[in-house]
């Protein structure tokens, strides 16, 4: 295996807590004595990963998870409290808006400074300058002080410099979230070409669409620690499911198996693919699912079974009952009734779902018992929504 362009091991970043009187003096005293601050907040803890030449790695996570801090440590803007960061080859970084640009200088002068920092001499810059001007497309503002620029213009100019330099490693933090749609498309096209020609990308973004489009691997940061690292679809789908569950408010699994009304109808067995445990069932996109239910009716009358699909965030996807489809259960004796349902070629998009089984009375009016099972659908789709609708592209 080739030497990685980025190698991060045991990386930690902590800041002293300065919320009370005397904290600053205590922190200064700790620094003078060469020991860590007694009261500190941890932003990153024991982060480790590597990026090989030609790879694209996305860093995802909630606000405050430590993503931007991690990029600043990789680029050398910050120094780690513990651990090591090693980079190899020319690095281009697009971090905070305006970082590296002097507000009093013109855009053209800032381009010259940025080019010099990237190792371009005057002759090389002269050859690149028309390309930079065309990519930034800010007209006469190129000769205006940067302090007069909008945030979108700053990003245009910064990205134009990076596009002209084409570093071996590009590190970027949410730059695609700023600027008009036309410029975002231009950036995406350039990034596609950059990656296709062997460039290496380290990307922070809240847009899972961009993450899945541009990156092959992903690192999920949660509370400053690595929650997951691996294939971009696996990691981003796990993160998306966790966000959905959080927004919906997690419901304890115990409450899902408690009967709503005591006694008359009970859900005895709920099997998916022959499994009656409480573990999640994992399916490939487009796979089928076999569902078996056993309900018990105290008065011996055939009950009604209902199945409801929900997304992890609680959004209803689909529901159906045996009464709707005029299906009678198979009597097993002693008041027990069996139901079997096959969901053929599920059209669900990759993500986490819940399948809820509900036991109702013979009239299908009163709910007596219910249970839920988690179903994980895996795949590499970049489509939006919950289900895949059959479609066909053609000429108008």
Q: CA torsion 311→314→317→323, rounded to 10°?
A: 120
What is the C-alpha separation between 51 and 89, in angstroms, rounded? 12
- How far from 346 is each of 6, 185, 267, 318, 343, CA to CA, in Å? 40, 33, 24, 11, 6
- Supply the DSSP symbol for 146: G
Whose structure tokens read 């796979």? Answer: 287
What is the C-alpha separation between 298 and 239, in angstroms, rounded? 43
Closest to 69 (Cα-Cα) out of 60, 78, 82: 78
Q: What local confidence, expressed as pLDDT, does residue 220 receive?
A: 95
Partners of residue 291 on adjacent β-strands: 272, 341
Sheet with strand 265-272: strands edge to edge: 265-272, 289-297, 336-343, 330-333
Q: What residues have CB less than 8 Å from 355, skipping those under 6 apart?
A: 272, 289, 291, 307, 308, 309, 310, 372, 373, 374, 375
What is the C-alpha separation between 310 and 313, in angstroms, rounded? 8
SS3 category, 213:
helix
Question: Which phi and psi angles does 386 have, rounded to 5°?
Answer: -115, -30
What is the C-alpha separation between 188 and 176, in angstroms, rounded? 8
Name residues of the chain where pLDDT drops below 70: 1, 16-40, 96-99, 175-179, 247-263
Domains and CATH numbers, the chain: 51-247 (3.40.50.300), 253-378 (2.70.50.60)
What is the C-alpha separation between 180 and 184, in angstroms, rounded? 6
Contact 57, 201 (CB under 8 A): yes
Closest to 272 (Cα-Cα) out of 283, 286, 260, 261: 283
What is the C-alpha separation between 112 and 161, in angstroms, rounded? 10
Instruction: Tell me the per-residue pLDDT of 183-222, one tens digit each, with 9 for 90 and over.
Output: 877 888 888 899 999 999 999 988 887 888 889 999 999 9
User: What's the CA angle centered on 380, arms 374 and 386, to 5 degrees?
Assistant: 50
Q: What local confidence, expressed as pLDDT, does residue 251 receive?
A: 46
Q: What local confidence, expressed as pLDDT, does residue 98 receive?
A: 58
Pairing type for strands 56-60 and 217-222 reads parallel
Q: What residues have CB less than 8 Å from 334, skipping those under 6 apart?
A: none
**Token code pair at residue 286:** 């487009």
Pairing type for strands 200-204 and 56-60 reads parallel
What is the C-alpha separation between 396 and 387, in angstroms, rounded? 25
SS3 category, 239:
helix
Q: What local confidence, expressed as pLDDT, does residue 21 receive?
A: 58
What is the C-alpha separation between 55 and 2, in angstroms, rounded? 12
SS3 category, 396:
coil
Instruction: Tell me the per-residue pLDDT of 272-292, one tens digit each, with 9 for 90 and over.
Output: 998 888 888 999 999 999 999
- Supply the DSSP symbol for 148: G
């Amino acid at each position: 295996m080739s030497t990685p362009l980025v190698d991060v091991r045991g990386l930690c970043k902590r800041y002293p807590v300065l919320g009370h009187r005397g904290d600053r003096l205590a922190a200064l005293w700790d620094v003078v004595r060469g020991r860590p601050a007694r009261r500190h907040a941890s932003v990153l803890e024991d982060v480790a990963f590597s990026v090989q030449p030609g790879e694209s790695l996305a860093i995802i996570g909630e606000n405050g998870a430590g993503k931007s801090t991690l990029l600043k440590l990789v680029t050398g803007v910050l120094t780690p409290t513990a651990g090591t960061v090693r980079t190899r080859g020319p690095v281009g970084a697009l971090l905070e808006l305006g970082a590296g640009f002097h507000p009093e200088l013109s855009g053209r002068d800032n381009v010259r400074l940025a080019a010099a920092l990237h190792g371009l001499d005057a002759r090389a810059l002269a050859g690149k300058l028309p390309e930079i001007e065309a990519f930034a497309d800010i007209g006469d503002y190129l000769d205006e002080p940067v302090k007069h620029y909008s945030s979108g213009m700053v990003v245009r100019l910064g990205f134009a410099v990076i596009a002209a330099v084409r570093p071996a490693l590009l590190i970027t933090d949410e730059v695609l979230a700023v600027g008009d749609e036309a410029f975002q498309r231009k950036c995406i096209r350039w990034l596609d070409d950059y990656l296709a020609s062997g460039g290496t990308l380290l990307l922070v973004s809240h847009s899972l669409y961009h993450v899945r489009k541009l990156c092959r691997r992903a690192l999920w940061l949660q509370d400053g620690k690595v929650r997951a690292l691996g294939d971009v679809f696996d990691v981003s789908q796990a993160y998306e499911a966790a966000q959905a569950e959080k927004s919906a408010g997690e419901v304890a699994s115990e409450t899902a198996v408690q009967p709503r009304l005591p006694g008359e109808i009970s859900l005895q067995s709920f099997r998916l693919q022959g499994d009656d445990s409480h573990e999640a069932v994992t399916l490939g996109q487009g796979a089928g699912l076999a569902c078996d239910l056993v309900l018990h009716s105290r008065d011996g009358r055939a009950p009604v079974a209902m199945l409801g699909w929900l997304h992890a965030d609680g959004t209803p996807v689909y529901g159906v009952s045996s009464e709707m489809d005029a299906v009678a259960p198979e009597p097993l004796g002693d008041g027990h009734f069996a139901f079997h349902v096959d969901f053929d070629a599920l059209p669900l998009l990759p993500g986490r779902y819940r399948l809820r089984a509900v036991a109702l009375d013979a009239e299908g009016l009163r709910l007596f018992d219910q249970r839920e099972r988690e179903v994980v659908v895996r795949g590499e789709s970049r489509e939006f929504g919950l289900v895949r609708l059959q479609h066909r592209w053609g000429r108008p």
